[in-house]
A and B are shown apart, each in its own frame.
Chain A
Amino acid sequence: MLVLLGAAPAASAQAAEGVRPNSTAKVTDSMAQRMQACVVCHGKEGRATNDGYFPRIAGKPQGYLFNQLKNFKDGRRHNQAMSHLLQHMSDDYLRDIARYFSELDLPYPPARALGLGAEQQQLAQSLVLKGDADRKIPACVACHGDNMAGRLPAMPGLLTLPSDYLIGQLGAWRTGQRKAKEPDCMAEVARRLSADEVGAVARWLSAQTLPLGTKPAAASTEPLPLRCGSGEP
């Protein structure tokens, strides 16, 4: 499809009118401008809230974001809108996009009521902080960082993500709809969790918040509880 510019340059008409600045006055040749295509779903500057479905992308580790962009492009993750947007992008540009969002330092939405009964709350908290050694389920904090703001190079932060999104992702891993580079550690963890546990953990994670300026944890010097292909070079 080819697109032609209209004949009249608008600036002069605008100046003559002198009422209000043109809506495009703020358009700049910048990365932020280029990423305007993402904000309709991921929120202003990529900081979607804990409502709805779309995940926050601001402040997640660059490695994680790059892997997801590749996963959508190459069909390991399925979302029609995402694969459409990414289909004609180079790895270099995907890396730049991942870096841009990873470097954004933006406030998190406030904590909110859990909406969980006492028993479920305890179940969630125990899985998140301690895991279940008998069933070989590692604690979330063991990989995603002590405050679950993510871990370099490629573990995502989990807090404030919409619970529907978290349930959707864990469900997709259990059914093989979502895949990561082998060995796919989250697929293993998701399959070991019951549906009830997935629901409780998702709601618990979604309701927490993080202080402004929280960064992903440094890369682990110890081996992680499970091998994860996505964190390996």
Chain B
Amino acid sequence: MTTKLLGRRLKGALAALTILATFAALVAWRNVAGEARIEPGAVQAPASDGVIARGAYLARAGNCIGCHTTAAGQAFAGGRGVDTPFGVVYAPNITPDDQTGIGTWSSAEFWRAMHHGRSKSGRLLYPAFPYPSFTNVTREDSDALYAYLRSVKPVGQPNLEHGLRFPYDTQAALAVWRALYFRPGEFAAEPKQSAEWNRGKYLVQGLGHCAACHSGRNFLGGTSLKTEFAGGLMPDATWYAPSLATPKEAGVQGWPKSEVVRLLKTGVSEHASVAGPMAEVVFSSTQYLTDQDLDAMTQFLASLPVKQPEPAKTDRVDAGGFARGGKVYEAQCASCHGDRGEGVPNIYPALAGNRAVNLGSYDNLVQVIRHGGFAPATAGNPAPFGMPPFGQTLNNSDLAAVVTYIRRSWGNAAAPVSSLEVLRVE
């Protein structure tokens, strides 16, 4: 090898190293940009009852308990796993236990987690903790939440280690993700809008973290302004969180405000009910919000600019399968949803013209038929109606036939679904 060639290679390597180092520095800088230095802080003295009560309310608005508590577990002691395309992320213990919880955290450290997505130790947090939304929460509200969480029963329960695959389990990968998709934000009110509208925006984009599910994500799990509220498959790929940006999906543009408030407060409205992950949201979060706050959220949601989804493909329907679907419908579905999919107001949703039925994604319809379910039991709807889990008696081919029948009858015009596609729905 000649010296010249060696020199060229060395130069090349140096250039690559420089680029890499610059990139690393940029990523590192992006991850701490805007952070104030945290003084080694003392744990704050107990707050007043009023602040704690406000924190409790805010914890409901953020549905903290939803992830930080398991089905039979103690409140806020963690342990629930969130399935993501990159592996399982387990929510940690956020009770004030010194060893296993956040008992030694100061309010500044808690704020840094909420606002910057970094732990007390400085470790970067996975965005399964929705800090890309919580970053909009004010310091005052963060402190109230902190005060409330300090007041709950401390539980000694060690955190579970995440089950993420390489390279997603590394802090470096997370740092790159954050550099690409996360910016610490500060909620800025829009002066042209009313105080109620701004309150609604603050709740929806902050603690409500609606965008965490109702937005499209790319293959790295990143979101963009373009895909905000545009709907997307849930991180665990079981349900599709419909778009809030079109009344064809879950948008409430043009809805009577009182019906939206009723849906979020009770889980049902005259023509709609919540199911799947949204049933959980109503059950453990929105039913506890005041009418004023729900009204504010409704005002903001109703004002979201409409983005029409791409028109659905209209495949031909196999006549034999359609007829079989009709038989299944008549035997299993018609006694509640009606011969023409008209439903029974306030009891069984109509299927004709039903938004969930006509989604481009058939996942939710398959989930509902396969697993059934009740609307959440709420103060406003304490004894909900329910649907049987037909997965116990119908095979995938019957399911596909009846799903297709429902999606193509009574004016519905969504794409047919094959048994293979039904099988794909987890």
Contacts and interface: CB of A to CB of B under 8 A. Distances in A.
Given A26-B335, A96-B383, A3 B271 contact: yes
B336 A27 contact: yes
Contacts of B344: 24, 27
Contacts of A23: 330, 334-335, 338-339
Interface stretch (A33-41, A141-149, A207-215, A216-224): A33-41
Contact of A4 (B271, B364, B373, B392): B271
Interface in B214-269: 239, 242, 249-250, 252, 263, 267
Given A1-B364, A33-B385, A37-B387, A84 B342 contact: no
Interface in A20-61: 22-24, 26-27, 29, 31, 33-41
B388 interface: yes
Interface stretch (B20-28, B274-282, B291-299): B274-282
Interface string B62-104: 0000000011100000000000000000000000000000000
Contacts of A133: none
Nearest to B367: A1
Contacts of B382: 90, 92-93
B272 interface: yes
A81 B392 contact: yes
B250 A24 contact: no
A1 B393 contact: no
Interface string B360-403: 00001000100111111100001111111111110000000000
A84 B341 CA distance: 25
A4 B393 contact: no
B280 A88 contact: yes
A120 B262 CA distance: 60
Looking at B250, B272, B384, B386, which has the most chain A CB atoms within 10 Å of its CB? B386
A138 to B, nearest CB: 29
Nearest to B250: A2
B131 interface: no
B73 to A, nearest CB: 9
Is chain A's binding surface mostly helix, strand, loop or mixed?
helix
Contacts of B387: 37
Given A6-B341, A36-B336, A88-B279, A93 B393 contact: no
Given A10-B340, A23-B339, A4 B353 contact: yes
Contacts of A16: none
Contacts of A225: none
B343 interface: yes
Interface residues of A, number: 42
B336 A89 contact: no
A83 interface: yes
A37 B342 contact: no
B272 A4 contact: yes
A188 interface: no
Given A3-B356, A38-B388, A88-B279, A8 B342 contact: yes
Given A3-B356, A88-B377, A37 B386 contact: yes
Contacts of B12: none
A201 B374 CA distance: 36
A6 B340 CA distance: 10
A107 interface: no
Given A4-B271, A40-B389, A88-B280, A27 B250 contact: no
Contact of B347 (A4, A33, A41, A76): A33
A1 B71 contact: no
A137 to B, nearest CB: 30
B302 interface: no
9 contacts: A23-B330, A24-B343, A24-B348, A40-B372, A81-B392, A87-B71, A88-B377, A92-B377, A93-B383
